[in-house]
């Protein structure tokens, strides 16, 4: 006994339908609209809870839940219409006009189309995911490039897979289509081998994050500041203000030295005092200079810092300095170094110490 065996036949003709078939079809589509409303509402509430970004919620969720609801409603209508179509040969009560033969195919097309639309809307969630895992809460140039690359890749995959299923829903020979796409894809892959290598090189760099925009790096023989990371190339500005374009494929196999990831910046220097300086004043100078280093707001690793007499020669007393700057840029390091040097000069002046000048001959 089929699902529709209890239908009551009526000789009345409603546009080629029997009365009972028309009632069943109307019931299916009314139920489909209810399913669409329920799925859209529940999807909106569920996804709104897990997405924190207001902009993404407006763009992806509001439009995406409608597409998901339509896709599920299409599945619902497709299943019941297919059952109705299959049972009409065994049930005389089921009368369907010939112009409606392709309704299941139309519903299948709607299903695939709206699933693609829904997935396309959700691509915007990449932004929310990357921002969620970002530690400082502010997206830099590298992270924006990562978002762009991931969104482009996902859109391509969605369009490609969706096109295949849409072609199948429209009745194209899927085997022949895939074979043709395979041959075409192979030819395109061979022709664009370098471009593909650069693209996956960019994905590797963006995921591993060996550097970000603003870091000072040494890549092979190229040294400079990273100013832009694209899907094909990375741009580095050198100290001479020139731009070096590095293919991203090279970054996968080339060692990268990133000066921007230094935890601290070591600075060593030598202070040359006059050979006739008072030993007690020199000792005081060393102790108080070390205090200046340890109390400076831009220094770190105080236990590893030192200021002591390194050697003595016929002309000067040589005092060695070793300290570590806790700064994020060369500009900040130069500023902190200048401040410390001026304080050291003031201290030497206070203790009546003179710096050695090789241009002045010692008087006997």
Terminal Cα distance for the chain, rounded: 126
| 324 closest CA partner among 303, 346, 341, 301 | 301
CATH of 139-148+170-261, one of 3.40.50.300, 1.20.900.10, 2.30.30.60, 2.40.30.10: 2.30.30.60
Q: Do domains 139-148+170-261 and 265-350 have the same CATH topology?
A: no
The pLDDT value given to residue 242: 93
Taking only the tens of pLDDT, the chain with its 364 residues reads 454 455 444 444 555 666 777 778 888 888 888 888 888 777 767 766 666 556 666 655 555 677 778 888 888 888 888 887 777 666 666 667 766 777 777 887 888 888 888 887 777 777 776 776 666 666 666 666 677 777 777 887 888 787 777 777 666 665 665 565 565 555 555 555 566 676 677 777 777 778 877 888 998 888 998 888 777 788 899 988 899 998 888 887 788 888 877 788 889 999 999 999 999 999 999 999 999 999 999 999 889 999 999 999 888 999 999 999 998 777 888 999 999 999 999 999 999 999 987 655 544 4
| 14 closest CA partner among 95, 99, 85 | 95
d(CA 325, CA 80): 72
Tell me how far apart the 2 most distant CA atoms of the chain are, in Å: 135
Query: Which tokens in the block code for residue 129?
Result: 């995911």
The pLDDT value given to residue 321: 94
Residue-range domain boundaries for the chain: 13-122, 139-148+170-261, 265-350
The pLDDT value given to residue 237: 92
Distant-in-sequence, close-in-space partners of 81: CB < 8 Å, separation ≥ 6: 25, 28, 103, 104, 107
The pLDDT value given to residue 9: 41
- Architecture of the domain spanning 265-350: 2-Layer Sandwich (3.30)
DSSP 204-256: HHHHH-S--TT-EEEETTEEEEEEEE-SSEEEEE-TTS-EEEEEHHHHHHS-E
Distant-in-sequence, close-in-space partners of 311: CB < 8 Å, separation ≥ 6: 318
Among all chains, which residue has been given the structure tokens 């694209």? Answer: 230
The pLDDT value given to residue 336: 92
The pLDDT value given to residue 8: 45
């Amino acid at each position: 006994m089929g699902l529709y065996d209890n239908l009551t036949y009526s000789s009345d003709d409603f546009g080629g339908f029997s009365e009972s078939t028309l009632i069943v079809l109307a019931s299916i589509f009314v139920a489909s609209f209810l399913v669409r409303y329920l799925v859209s509402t529940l999807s909106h509430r569920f996804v709104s809870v897990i997405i924190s970004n207001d902009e993404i919620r407006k763009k992806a969720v509001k439009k995406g839940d409608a597409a998901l609801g339509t896709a599920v409603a299409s599945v619902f209508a497709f299943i019941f219409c297919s059952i109705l179509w299959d049972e009409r040969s065994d049930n005389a009560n089921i009368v369907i006009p010939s112009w409606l033969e392709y309704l299941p195919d139309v519903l299948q097309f709607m299903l695939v189309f709206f699933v693609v639309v829904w997935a396309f809307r959700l691509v915007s969630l990449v932004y929310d995911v990357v921002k969620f895992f970002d530690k400082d809460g502010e997206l830099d140039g590298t992270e924006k490039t990562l978002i762009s690359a991931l969104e482009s890749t996902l859109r391509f995959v969605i369009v490609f897979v969706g096109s295949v299923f849409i072609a199948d829903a429209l009745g194209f020979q899927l085997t022949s289509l895939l074979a043709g796409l395979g041959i075409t894809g192979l030819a395109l892959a061979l022709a664009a081998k370098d471009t593909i290598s650069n693209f996956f090189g960019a994905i590797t760099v963006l995921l591993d994050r060996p550097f970000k925009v603003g870091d000072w790096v040494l890549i092979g023989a190229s040294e400079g500041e990273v100013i832009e990371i694209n899907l094909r190339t990375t741009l580095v500005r050198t100290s001479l203000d020139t731009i070096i374009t590095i293919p991203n494929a090279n970054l996968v196999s080339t060692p990268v030295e990133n000066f921007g990831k230094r935890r601290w910046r070591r600075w060593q220097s030598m202070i040359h005092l006059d050979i006739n300086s008072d030993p007690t004043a020199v000792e005081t100078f060393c102790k108080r200079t070390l205090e200046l280093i340890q109390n400076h707001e831009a220094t770190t690793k105080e236990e590893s810092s030192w200021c002591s007499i390194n050697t003595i020669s016929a002309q000067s007393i040589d005092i060695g300095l070793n300290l570590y700057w806790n700064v994020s840029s060369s500009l900040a390091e130069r500023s902190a170094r200048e401040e410390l040097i001026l304080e050291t000069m003031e201290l030497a002046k206070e203790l009546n110490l003179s710096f050695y000048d090789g241009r002045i001959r010692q008087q006997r």
